[in-house]
Structure 1
Amino acid sequence: MSFRGFDAAKLTALAKDLDALGQNSGRLHSQLATVLTVAQQNLPPGQQASRDPALQDLVGDLVPMPFFGRRRLPGVLGGELSDMHTSMKRRIAQLEGLQELARRGYPVNDSMLFLDERAADPKKIDDALSHLKALRGTDFGMNGNRDDLEKIAGELDGLTAGELDAVISKASPEDLAFYNALVTCTDDSGWTPFDHNGLPDSRLRQTLGGMLAKISPENIGKFQTAFPGIQPTFTNTGAYEEGGNNQNGQTNSGIHWAPPSDPLFNNGVSADDVNQRQFGDCWYVASLAGLAQKDPQFIQDGIKQNPNGTVSVRVWDKNGNYQWITMTADLPTDQNGTPISTYGNGETWPAYYEKAFAIAYADDGDGERGYGGIEGDDPKKSAPYLTGQEGQDLESGGFLGIGKHDDKDLSALKKAFDSGKVLTVSTPNDESLAKNHPKSWEPSYCTNHAYYVRGFTDDGKIILGNPWGTSGYKPIAVTQDEFNKYFQSPEAFDVP
């Protein structure tokens, strides 16, 4: 009996046939090699037993040994068909598990049929639903509810995508919302200062992110309604409150969330992909661009798109703990469909790095959350989140063997840059410099702003990139005297 177009019985028979062929491939290989070898031995010199190069390779290869490097047909099929048989058995078991869920009345999304995971267990689904529902009548006692919530979080973490999607489909919106209220409230009860409530931010992100990465696209809306904290707010940003970025002059109206049409990557990773737009987080974006310049593969390895369309980005927290932050694919967009967050040139990876940072950094801080929480700070503070390593303030002296009076010496900065470090610098918040600076720097120079070091010229100038991007904002070459007057706070961090 077929299920969504798949017949488990016929697939099982096919898998058995493939396994049988694989088991016989070694004998067939030896027999064919023997025939060709004998034929070759009886032919006049210069003549070949076969004109087919693949068959000619079998001459003398009487025993197929792919583990010793001989990977020729048909002997190599022994391992390949065996692996295929094992994979098919696993996928058939998963299919039968989903079929059983459907028989019991659980919604089964078609996308779940193509995942490679163990068969769904209805009991685990029933238990998870029961435990979520039971929270509404639980007395958590004097120690708070963290132990109970950790237990449920661990239970949810252990579910397959099919099982978890069934839980989200079946759970009532009220039960999910109540669970969210419990896990996000870490205040003490008022009865005792020693109780522990809610889940710590990192644990909460791990659980909710893991769930978000697994569920079907049809359940993402329900999940986001139940757990609104997975989306960082933008209503506390200058772009929202003032209608744009007053430094680069970009304006907007009607900011809303919308999915982008561009892929994660268009042509690899480059610092030129990074275009800060309307959020005031140049300190982070400059560091991101500098890292993309130094190690594009590290950036590319740190982001992935999940089967359900969500995106996960590798981030460290302020304590150096490694994690993947999963988010929905939508991005802050103006009424014309133009992204207002950091974006690329036909690719979206910079936007998702920024969105992940808005989630992680805000949750670690004591102040504002979301995009507003990452506006206006020190570039060296972004390094731990991008790489897991601390940033270093070069003005402290000693780091490069430079004294406090030579803390902006370009030769010392070049030494750090050439050693592989990412370097950023800032400009003072000085209106006189905004009005009086070299005209050749227009419109790239801006006060109270962060830049990243792109390199050095042969005559000793430092080349600085504006995180607003290279389209319309060309890099500027700066002499030592100009650097002393117009720039400050050189900082560095290591590339892992």
Structure 2
Amino acid sequence: MGFKGFDPVKLKGLADELDGLAQHSGGLHSRLATVLTTAQQNLPPGQSASRDPDLQNLVGDVVPIPFFGRMRLPGSLAGELGDMQSSMKRRITQLESLQKFADLGYPVDQSVVFLDEKAPDGKKVDDALKDLKALNGEDFGTNGNRDDLEKVNAELSGLTSAELDALFTKADPADLSRYNALLNNTDDSWLNPFDSNGIPENDRRAVLGNLLSKIGADNMSKFTNAFPGVQPIFTNSEAYKNGGNSQNGQNNSGIHWQVPTDPLFNGDVSADDINQRQFGDCWFVSSLAAVAQKDPQFIKDGIKQNPNGTISVRVWDKSGNYQWVTMTPDLPTDTNGNPLSTYGNGDTWSAYYEKAFALTYKDENGQSGYGGIEGDDPKKSAPFLTGHDGSDLTRSSGFLGLGTSEDKRFSSMKAAFDSGKAVTVSTPDDEGLDKNHPAEWGGTYHSNHAYYVRGFTPDGKIILGNPWGVSNYPPITVTQDQFNKYFQSPEEYDVP
């Protein structure tokens, strides 16, 4: 058996067979088209030679002409089989180059064996290891260490997955930790206010995210130990400190990180997939649900799974620029394996959007992590989700505070929703309303909470969704008078 259990000779033989099939598929196309055309000519009018639409389209296409003919199956197999065998051969070349790489003493992770990459270069790994170690005690000069760090960043970012994984296997943990400390320390020297040290946060996150997206599974823990900033903390959250969420009554024990077994998507994206659990970030989750309600494809396009299992989520910054934030695939979980972060109905995309937000958002005290996203205004999350600021409908429409009736809020919300915008609302911080509200709302209504607009009834009532999940907290229908008493702060968000 060959390298890592694969036999390059047999794989090349299979690729050659596919290539041969591709070369003969055009002839098969013509022969099949001839048979179907003859059959069609002998059938009564109105009857088809085949019930299969693709095969029926071959009638009369006896000599397919590239770029002009229909080029349907099986004629199109020429291109498909050709692409397949070409891709296989590239990966076989990669497999053979990795075997030589391993023979020279460089470790090779199983996950990089069939990646479509250039052949690994041991010298690039050795040079990067040397430059990492050289950061120890180096005199960075009067201009600070930023240019030196940028050189190392470019060096590491230019490594293939196989090279990077070999580097991490060989790297001294102390060298990696020193590199991380230097990246994060952006203070200027008081002796020289013109020096530049460390790497700005967005640039640092981009570099580490790129590395994380390529690292092998066996080195994932070594990576997160060296660069703890790629993992948001949960120990600063009320959910951790109090053992659960007091609003929805969910409790936890033994909170820890664990990789879920559910896929990223379980069917189409829907606001119904969202179920805020332990963390008190309804203001963000309601915004996420509102955007998913209006444009599911936008949400789906903003998240992807990398070949090594890590997840990248598209996040905007306050300047309106977006970047892909890459994170490890593990999520906060309790002792029994139950998810503690926002989760879905058999899918995990909402949990990773929340995790990306916990990584990038800082509250007014500069706190990040899951504690940093607990308790805030829904419109503050809009720029991170969509790149557009959220707006207070009552203020942007000039309704309240200027002598205009509260009832105008209903028409402004409907106008915003009908124009394609996502809309959220909040409830007052008045625990008395938790018992004194319409009985038909049941446990769906809660004070000091955020909701998202799902639509409007024909008779003018508003339909609100609770981000705690529609299965246990079904949407509620609210009249204009009820809204004025039990809800406040309608806000809108543009969805690109």
Normalised by the length of structure 2, the TM-score is 0.88
From the superposition, tell whether residues 139 and 402 of structure 1 become closer, same or farther in structure 2 (CA, over 3 Å).
Answer: same
SS at match of 2:112: helix
Match of 2:347 in 1: 347
Separation of aligned partners in 2, 1:419 and 1:401: 22
Question: 5 Å matches for 1:87-166?
Answer: 87-166=87-166
Match of 1:373 in 2: 372
Asked if structure 2 preserves the Cα contact closer than 8 Å seen for 1:454 and 1:465, the reply is yes
The answer to whether structure 1 residue 472 and structure 2 residue 467 are counterparts is no
The Cα of 1:479 is off from its aligned counterpart by: 1.6
Matched-pair identity in %? 63
Question: 5 Å matches for 1:219-234?
Answer: 219-234=219-234
From the superposition, tell whether residues 81 and 287 of structure 1 become closer, same or farther in structure 2 (CA, over 3 Å).
Answer: closer
Asked if structure 2 preserves the Cα contact closer than 8 Å seen for 1:315 and 1:323, the reply is yes
The Cα of 1:437 is off from its aligned counterpart by: 2.5
Match of 1:395 in 2: 394
One-letter amino acid of the counterpart of residue 427, structure 1:
T
The Cα of 1:305 is off from its aligned counterpart by: 2.1
Separation of aligned partners in 2, 1:490 and 1:203: 35
The Cα of 1:453 is off from its aligned counterpart by: 0.8
One-letter amino acid of the counterpart of residue 86, structure 1:
S
Separation of aligned partners in 2, 1:282 and 1:170: 44
The Cα of 1:81 is off from its aligned counterpart by: 4.7
Deviations 1:211-231 (A, max 9, x none): 111111111111111111111
The Cα of 1:282 is off from its aligned counterpart by: 0.7
Separation of aligned partners in 2, 1:416 and 1:402: 20
Deviations 1:248-296 (A, max 9, x none): 2222222221222322222322212111112111110000111111112
Separation of aligned partners in 2, 1:229 and 1:373: 14
From the superposition, tell whether residues 94 and 188 of structure 1 become closer, same or farther in structure 2 (CA, over 3 Å).
Answer: same
One-letter amino acid of the counterpart of residue 149, structure 1:
L
One-letter amino acid of the counterpart of residue 405, structure 1:
T
Match of 2:382 in 1: 383
Match of 1:176 in 2: 176
Match of 2:196 in 1: 196
Greater mean deviation of Cα atoms: 449-458 or 426-435 = 426-435
Asked if structure 2 preserves the Cα contact closer than 8 Å seen for 1:33 and 1:60, the reply is no
From the superposition, tell whether residues 430 and 193 of structure 1 become closer, same or farther in structure 2 (CA, over 3 Å).
Answer: farther
SS at match of 1:253: coil
Deviations 1:371-424 (A, max 9, x none): 111111111111111111111111214379996624552122111111111100
Separation of aligned partners in 1, 2:132 and 2:312: 26
Separation of aligned partners in 2, 1:93 and 1:395: 63
The Cα of 1:345 is off from its aligned counterpart by: 2.2
Match of 2:438 in 1: 438
Asked if structure 1 preserves the Cα contact closer than 8 Å seen for 2:393 and 2:412, the reply is no
Separation of aligned partners in 1, 2:396 and 2:329: 43
Separation of aligned partners in 1, 2:444 and 2:310: 35
Asked if structure 1 preserves the Cα contact closer than 8 Å seen for 2:97 and 2:120, the reply is yes
Match of 2:46 in 1: none
Match of 1:405 in 2: 404
Asked if structure 2 preserves the Cα contact closer than 8 Å seen for 1:121 and 1:163, the reply is yes
Match of 2:2 in 1: 2
Separation of aligned partners in 1, 2:475 and 2:84: 53
Separation of aligned partners in 1, 2:331 and 2:73: 50
Deviations 1:440-460 (A, max 9, x none): 323122222111111112221
From the superposition, tell whether residues 66 and 267 of structure 1 become closer, same or farther in structure 2 (CA, over 3 Å).
Answer: same
SS at match of 1:68: coil
One-letter amino acid of the counterpart of residue 62, structure 2:
D
Question: 5 Å matches for 1:419-430?
Answer: 419-430=419-430
Q: Aligned Cα RMSD in Å?
A: 3.1
Separation of aligned partners in 2, 1:488 and 1:24: 69
From the superposition, tell whether residues 269 and 57 of structure 1 become closer, same or farther in structure 2 (CA, over 3 Å).
Answer: closer
The answer to whether structure 1 residue 274 and structure 2 residue 274 are counterparts is yes
From the superposition, tell whether residues 56 and 369 of structure 1 become closer, same or farther in structure 2 (CA, over 3 Å).
Answer: closer
Length, aligned pairs only? 485
Match of 2:288 in 1: 288
The answer to whether structure 1 residue 487 and structure 2 residue 476 are counterparts is no
Deviations 1:146-197 (A, max 9, x none): 1111222122222211111111111111111111111112222332222222
The Cα of 1:431 is off from its aligned counterpart by: 3.6
One-letter amino acid of the counterpart of residue 375, structure 2:
G
The Cα of 1:355 is off from its aligned counterpart by: 0.5
One-letter amino acid of the counterpart of residue 372, structure 2:
G
Match of 2:68 in 1: 68
Match of 2:306 in 1: 306
The answer to whether structure 1 residue 205 and structure 2 residue 209 are counterparts is no
Separation of aligned partners in 2, 1:15 and 1:445: 61
Separation of aligned partners in 1, 2:391 and 2:201: 26
Separation of aligned partners in 2, 1:219 and 1:375: 32
Separation of aligned partners in 1, 2:77 and 2:262: 41
Is there any run of 5+ residues in structure 1 with no aligned partner, and where?
A: none
From the superposition, tell whether residues 444 and 79 of structure 1 become closer, same or farther in structure 2 (CA, over 3 Å).
Answer: closer
Separation of aligned partners in 2, 1:33 and 1:272: 48
Asked if structure 1 preserves the Cα contact closer than 8 Å seen for 2:29 and 2:73, the reply is no
SS at match of 1:257: strand
Deviations 1:300-353 (A, max 9, x none): 222222222222222112222211111112111222322221111222221111
Asked if structure 1 preserves the Cα contact closer than 8 Å seen for 2:29 and 2:74, the reply is no
Asked if structure 2 preserves the Cα contact closer than 8 Å seen for 1:358 and 1:370, the reply is yes
Asked if structure 2 preserves the Cα contact closer than 8 Å seen for 1:29 and 1:73, the reply is no
SS at match of 1:433: helix
The Cα of 1:365 is off from its aligned counterpart by: 6.6
From the superposition, tell whether residues 46 and 261 of structure 1 become closer, same or farther in structure 2 (CA, over 3 Å).
Answer: closer
Greater mean deviation of Cα atoms: 389-398 or 78-87 = 78-87
Asked if structure 2 preserves the Cα contact closer than 8 Å seen for 1:400 and 1:416, the reply is no
Match of 1:416 in 2: 416
One-letter amino acid of the counterpart of residue 379, structure 1:
P
Normalised by the length of structure 1, the TM-score is 0.88
Question: 5 Å matches for 1:13-92?
Answer: 15=15, 19=19, 46=42, 61-62=62-63, 64-71=64-71, 76=76, 78-92=78-92
Separation of aligned partners in 1, 2:82 and 2:116: 17
Separation of aligned partners in 2, 1:82 and 1:211: 32
One-letter amino acid of the counterpart of residue 227, structure 1:
F
